[in-house]
Amino acid sequence: YQYPLMFGLILAFCWCSLVCCSRIYMGMHSILDVIAGFLYAILILVVFHPVVDLIDNFNLTYKYAPLIIISLHLALGIFSFTLDTWSTSRGDTAQILGCGAGVACGSHVNYVLGLQLDPPPHTLPLSLSSLTVTVFGKAILRLLIGVIVLLLTKVAMKKATIPLACSIFRIPHDDVRRARQRMEVELPYRYITYGMVGFSLMFIVPCLFHFIGLS
Cα–Cα dist 181/185, whole Å = 7
Compute the distance between CA of residue 13 and CA of residue 16 in angstroms, rounded to an integer.
Answer: 5
Give the pLDDT confidence score for residue 184 in this predicted structure. Answer: 82
Return d(Cα 10, Cα 12) in angstroms, integer.
6
Distance CA 47, CA 26 (A): 30
State the Cα–Cα distance between residues 58 and 52, nearest whole angstrom.
Answer: 10
**Model pLDDT, residue 123:** 82
Sequence ranges of the domains in the chain? 1-49, 52-212
pLDDT digits (tens, 9 = 90+) for 5-34: 899 999 999 999 999 999 899 888 899 999
DSSP 127: B
Q: How far apart are the first and last CA of the chain?
A: 17
Q: What pLDDT sits at residue 92? A: 83
Can you give the pLDDT at residue 180?
Answer: 77
Residue 74, pLDDT above cutoff 70: yes
- Give the residue with greater pLDDT, 105 vs 179: 105
| Confidence at residue 79, expressed as pLDDT on a 0 to 100 scale | 75
